[in-house]
Amino acid sequence: MSGSKTVQVKEKKLEEISGIGPATAEKLREAGYTDLMTIAIESPRNLAEVCEIGESTAAKIINSAKEAVDIGGFETGDEILERRRSIGRLTTGSKALDELIGGGLETQSITEVYGEFGSGKTQLCHQAAVNATMPEDRGGLNGEVVIIDTENTFRPERIAQMSSAVGLDPVETLKRIHVARAYNSAHQMLLVEKAAELAKEKPVRMLVVDSLTAHFRAEYVGRGTLAERQQALNTHMHALLRFGDLHNAVILCTNQVAAKPDAFFGDPTRPIGGHIVGHTATYRVYLRKSKAGKRIARLVDSPSLPEAECVITVNEDGIRD
Ligand code: GTP
Ligand code: MG
């Protein structure tokens, strides 16, 4: 199977667009127009007001941005078929869980794992990261991994332990896992762009966001901010999906359940982010604690697979049946 696709996303700088000088570029950035896409879809009137320029100049800038930006376009059916053919599967470490989700974590899709604290979400991310570096004949993707860590729960020691358990060299494995701490939701979103840069040099085949929603939840508090939060989450998830498509990568995200009734989602077993996250994720797995090291994984509202459950184990070696 081929590695990352050869599609190049060339993002021009604002200053490279005709009509945008340094001063205008600065005003644009200050107003939040940090990339060409946001300029390309803006109206001349709004842009003129923000940059204190004439509407006709603004219109010219918008047109140039439209030409320069990689909006993406139409693909023919056979191209989509070709892309679908390259879809890969990554083992979770548990055969039962792999089967539950149709043969392992799917590339070019988002898998969301949600559950309460200690349910094993972060452990699963560590295990999948190790597995992604394994060769394809062992259920891996023979790739590198990017982990966006929002809660400072990445543990290299755990990666080393899990690597040894499957006979991989711990140091070599750690070298293929790239971790960035995200300090807030905006930073988290920017890190997806950084990951895309890294993926130009390295065969990144998995992107982990652990946790997808924690920052968003902490920052957008109160009913009035719900729409904003959902919009930001939506943008973030589409950036992730795009990364998955371009690099034929697994996107693995974790999500908490509201421990106490959430202001927005009263049901305490509902994952944060509601339907925005739910509709963009292709696979949603609900993890809950059981006896000893056992966890119950449930596949929730999948379009093509039956809703079912399986039991997995979390132990020193990692995730197992
Ligand atoms: P939050 O991020 O707090 O929402 O939880 P989480 O779902 O990410 O939980 P996490 O994956 O961190 O699971 C932690 C649990 O995994 C621990 O309570 C242990 O039960 C188990 N665990 C983690 N490391 C080990 C280990 O080395 N050995 C064993 N036996 N179990 C472990
Ligand atoms: Mg965790």
CATH class, 2-69 region: mainly alpha
Rounded Cα gap, residues 291 and 267, in angstroms: 24
- Say what the pTM is: 0.81
- Report, as ranges of residue numbers, the positions in the chain whose pLDDT lies below 50: 1-10, 265-266
pLDDT, tens only, 249-278: 999 999 988 655 555 544 556 777 777 777
Identify the residue whose C-alpha is closest to ligand 1 atom 26. Answer: 316
Strands 177-181 and 144-149: parallel
- Among left, alpha and beta (phi > 0; psi -120 to 50; other), residue 22 is alpha
Strands 109-115 and 283-289: parallel
Instruction: Provide the pLDDT for residue 267.
Output: 54
Instruction: Provide the pLDDT for residue 261.
Output: 53
Which mutation among 116, 119, 123, 290 tests ligand 1's pocket best, with the greatest number of atoms within 8 A of CB? 123
- Contacts of residues 170-178 at CB distance under 8 Å and 24 or more positions apart, as own/partner, are 173/130, 173/133, 176/133, 176/143, 176/144, 176/145, 177/129, 177/133, 177/144, 177/145, 177/147, 178/144, 178/145, 178/146, 178/147, 178/202, 178/204
Encoding tokens for residue 152? 């400072």
Closest atom, ligand 1, to C-alpha of 124: 11
Query: What single string gives the DSSP state of each residue in 144-163?
Result: EEEEEESSS---HHHHHHHH
> Is ligand 1 within 6 A of the CB of residue 157?
no
Rounded Cα gap, residues 310 and 97, in angstroms: 6
Encoding tokens for residue 233? 């989450």
| Element containing residue 278 per DSSP (H, E) | helix 274-280
Distances in Å between the Cα of 268 and the Cα atoms of 1, 151, 225, 226, 257 are 42, 21, 20, 17, 7
Q: Are 244 and 107 in contact (CB under 8 A)?
A: yes
> Is ligand 1 within 6 A of the CB of residue 118?
yes
**Any residues with CB less than 8 A from the CB of 153 and at least 6 apart, and which?**
122, 210
Percentage helix, strand, coil, to 5, in the chain? 45, 20, 35
User: Taking Cα atoms as reference points, which of 318, 312, 293 lies closest to residue 164?
Assistant: 318
Identify the residue whose C-alpha is closest to ligand 1 atom 31. Answer: 315
Rounded Cα gap, residues 266 and 138, in angstroms: 43
Rounded Cα gap, residues 285 and 299, in angstroms: 5
CATH numeric code, 83-320: 3.40.50.300
Delimiting residues of CATH 3.40.50.300 domain(s) in the chain: 83-320
Delimiting residues of CATH 1.10.150.20 domain(s) in the chain: 2-69
| Element containing residue 57 per DSSP (H, E) | helix 55-68
> Is ligand 1 within 6 A of the CB of residue 315?
yes
CB atoms inside a 10 Å sphere around CB 214: 19
